[in-house]
């Protein structure tokens, strides 16, 4: 552990507010937060949390730096992000290990998360030469119309524990090439990965003689989070978290006419049809439901399976679950680590009580695993007689609900019945069924897949969902537009002054 921390410049006590190289701030009244290894309960290191005072110090630099950063040509900004990607490549292994150590996801997933950071940096570098605007034909003679995209400002990024570094990079890399500066509030459950990323970003900023482009304020939601969402210096707040918190963020930012990107809860399902390849389906379900111990936004939480294959599929999923190796996520071969906090374990156990009250039958798992540690649980499969109230709720834990259907319309109705709309999938070999699922009357989610699962998105597509998932889009495709302001320009190169719509005024 010591070696990992040293490589990433993590000390025993770390400051939690920073606006660039040599710009770490400390308030004598700062509260300490201790980061624990969720697998062992042992403390890893401490962070002095940002206060309102240090938030203000960081924000001043973030806002001031925007004035010069926005004037640097976008392809030059891309070179800075290219170096960020390179620095992440060099530190992929220790940073991935730290993700595992602090958050509890298995090593392959921790390293995969850092790879996602690298990938989005590569994407952003290319994007820095492609921030295209349209040109339009003017209805007025001797006129030219076009639109251009300007940098937006200093933006706030609030992320959750489950992807402690990747979600920052989805926002920060794109925002940076768009000419924005970024202030980040990570989860208080994963402060050390954030400190490590800030050190990496500082190194890159120092190499380019920059400060205030990538900034951090690690602090309580009730202090730093509330300040950010109510801060009119931030024209955009990108928030990843729950629907309930997203509603609060959305209302506060809208009150000051700011913009939000909301990445909120999911309740993702896979429909498995009677003609599906069950070998592929079982492997996918296992990865989607058990990976990251069921703590991804895109975790597979519901299986909607045709009655004709329900018994076989259920038996095969249960068999696969029984082969899952649970343990310390840093160890090779382990497929499932702990939940992030003791509170998360309590939440899961209380949800399983509700499951039984509502007629659900736990057919696999359902128990704590105290021999492994306080935060370990069994991955759990529940057979539900109907899609009851508890199934409509996203419990952030490895609980998989099994439901059956008779015809595809019923399957799609069940699929779309929940309030969330993030990710979805169908396993079928029938082209017509696949296309129906992807059609206007099919899945109502932001992500809809055929013969692959609900999780494990690539950075090239826009990531996000509908309904109570919030409607935001991050990462690839044209998600960059949310980080810029559009300006429509009309230029008159004639010596006349014609009005639009043929209006004559005082001629």
Partner 1 sequence: MSAQITLDTQIEDLVKNYPEAVGFLTRHGIRCIRCGEPLWCSLGELLDQDGVDDPHQLVTELNDFLKRK
Residue number with CB closer to partner 1 (353 or 409): 353
From 19-27, 171-179, 334-342, 360-368, give the range in contact with partner 1 by CB under 8 A. 334-342
Q: Does 420 bind partner 1 (CB under 8 A)?
A: no
CA 252 to mean position of chain CA atoms: 21
Q: Does 412 bind partner 1 (CB under 8 A)?
A: no
Active site residue 116: no
Token pair listed for 40: 């062992």
Distance from C-alpha of 465 to C-alpha of 269, rounded to nearest angstrom: 13
Binding pattern to partner 1, positions 260-299, x when CB under 8 A?
----xx-----------------------------x-x--
Q: Does 452 bind partner 1 (CB under 8 A)?
A: no
From 127-135, 201-209, 240-248, 275-283, give the range in contact with partner 1 by CB under 8 A. 240-248
Work out how close the CB of 123 gets to partner 1 at its nearest, in angstroms, rounded to a whole number: 26
The phi-psi region of residue 456 (left if phi > 0; otherwise alpha if psi is between -120 and 50; otherwise beta) is: left
Work out how close the CB of 14 gets to partner 1 at its nearest, in angstroms, rounded to a whole number: 18
Among 68, 244, 489, 490, binds partner 1 (CB under 8 A): 244
Residues 6+ away with beta carbon under 8 Å from 159: 167, 168, 184, 185, 186, 187, 240
Work out how close the CB of 353 gets to partner 1 at its nearest, in angstroms, rounded to a whole number: 7
Question: Whose CA is closest to 51, among 19, 20, 28?
Answer: 28
461: helix, strand or coil = coil
Distance from C-alpha of 252 to C-alpha of 373, rounded to nearest angstrom: 39
Q: Does 398 bind partner 1 (CB under 8 A)?
A: no
Distance from C-alpha of 154 to C-alpha of 228, rounded to nearest angstrom: 11
Please answer whether residues 425 and 266 qualify as being in contact, where contact means their C-beta atoms are separated by less than 8 angstroms.
no
Q: Does 345 bind partner 1 (CB under 8 A)?
A: yes
199: helix, strand or coil = helix
Q: Kind of pairing, strands 135-136 and 43-48?
A: unpaired
Q: Does 203 bind partner 1 (CB under 8 A)?
A: no
From 19-27, 123-131, 167-175, 238-246, give the range in contact with partner 1 by CB under 8 A. 238-246
Work out how close the CB of 242 gets to partner 1 at its nearest, in angstroms, rounded to a whole number: 3
From 105-113, 278-286, 349-357, 422-430, give the range in contact with partner 1 by CB under 8 A. 349-357
Work out how close the CB of 468 gets to partner 1 at its nearest, in angstroms, rounded to a whole number: 11
Work out how close the CB of 40 gets to partner 1 at its nearest, in angstroms, rounded to a whole number: 16
HSE of 2 in the Cβ direction (CA atoms, 13 Å)? 0
Please answer whether residues 452 and 437 qualify as being in contact, where contact means their C-beta atoms are separated by less than 8 angstroms.
no
The catalytic position among 109, 263, 404, 474 is 263
Among 24, 66, 69, 161, binds partner 1 (CB under 8 A): 161
DSSP letters spanning 285-325: HHHHHHGGGG-STT-EEEEEEEHHHHHHHHHHHHHHHHT--
Distance from C-alpha of 466 to C-alpha of 473, rounded to nearest angstrom: 10
Work out how close the CB of 208 gets to partner 1 at its nearest, in angstroms, rounded to a whole number: 34
Among 221, 456, 461, 498, binds partner 1 (CB under 8 A): 221
Residues 6+ away with beta carbon under 8 Å from 482: 236, 259, 261, 472, 473, 474
Among 45, 80, 166, 340, binds partner 1 (CB under 8 A): 340
Residues that bind partner 1 (CB under 8 A): 160-162, 187-189, 220-222, 225-226, 241-245, 248, 264-265, 295, 297, 339-347, 349-351, 353-354, 393-394, 396
- Give catalytic residue positions: 263
């Amino acid at each position: 552990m010591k070696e990992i921390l040293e490589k990433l410049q993590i000390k025993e006590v770390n400051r939690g507010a920073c606006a660039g190289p040599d710009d770490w701030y400390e308030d004598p009244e700062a509260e300490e937060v201790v980061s624990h290894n969720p697998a062992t309960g042992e403390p890893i290191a401490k962070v002095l949390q940002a206060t309102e005072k240090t938030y203000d110090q960081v924000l001043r630099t973030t806002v001031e730096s925007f004035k010069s950063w926005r004037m640097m040509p976008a392809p030059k900004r891309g070179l800075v992000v290219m170096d960020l990607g390179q620095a992440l490549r060099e530190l992929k292994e220790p940073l991935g290990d730290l993700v595992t150590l602090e958050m509890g996801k298995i090593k392959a997933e921790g390293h995969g998360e850092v790879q996602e950071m690298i990938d989005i940096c590569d994407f952003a570098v290319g994007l820095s030469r492609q921030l295209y605007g349209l040109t339009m034909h003017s209805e007025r003679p001797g006129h030219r119309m076009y639109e251009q995209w300007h940098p937006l400002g200093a933006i706030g990024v609030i992320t959750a524990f489950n992807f402690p570094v990747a979600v920052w990079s989805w926002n920060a890399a794109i925002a940076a090439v768009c000419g924005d500066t970024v202030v980040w509030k990570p989860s208080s459950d994963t402060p050390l990965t954030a400190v490590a990323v800030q050190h990496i970003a500082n190194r890159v900023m120092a190499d380019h003689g920059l400060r205030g482009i990538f900034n951090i304020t690690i602090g309580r939601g009730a202090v730093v989070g509330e300040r950010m969402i109510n801060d009119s210096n931030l024209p955009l707040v990108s928030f990843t978290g729950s629907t309930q918190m997203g509603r609060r963020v959305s209302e506060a930012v809208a009150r000051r006419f700011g913009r939000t990107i909301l990445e909120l809860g999911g309740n993702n399902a896979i429909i498995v049809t009677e003609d599906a390849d069950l070998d592929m389906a079982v492997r996918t379900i296992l990865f989607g439901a058990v990976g990251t111990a069921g703590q991804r936004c895109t975790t597979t939480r519901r299986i909607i399976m045709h009655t004709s294959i329900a018994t076989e599929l259920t038996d095969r999923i249960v068999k696969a679950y029984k082969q899952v190796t649970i343990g310390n996520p840093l160890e090779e071969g382990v497929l499932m680590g702990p939940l992030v906090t003791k509170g998360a374990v309590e939440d899961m156990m209380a949800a399983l009580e509700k499951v039984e009250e509502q007629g659900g039958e736990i057919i696999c798992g359902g128990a704590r695993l105290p021999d492994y540690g306080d935060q370990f649980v069994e991955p759990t499969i529940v057979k539900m007689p109907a899609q009851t109230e508890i199934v409509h709720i996203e419990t952030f834990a490895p609980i998989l609900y099994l439901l059956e259907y008779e015809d595809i319309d019923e399957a799609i109705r069940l699929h779309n019945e929940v309030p969330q709309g993030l990710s979805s999938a169908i396993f079928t070999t029938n082209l017509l069924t696949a296309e129906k699922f992807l059609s206007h009357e099919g899945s109502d989610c932001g992500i809809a897949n055929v013969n692959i699962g609900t999780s494990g998105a690539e950075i090239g597509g826009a990531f996000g969902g509908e309904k109570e998932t919030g409607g935001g889009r991050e990462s690839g495709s044209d998600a960059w537009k949310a980080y810029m302001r559009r300006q429509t320009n009309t230029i008159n190169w004639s010596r006349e002054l014609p009005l639009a719509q043929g209006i004559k005024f005082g001629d």
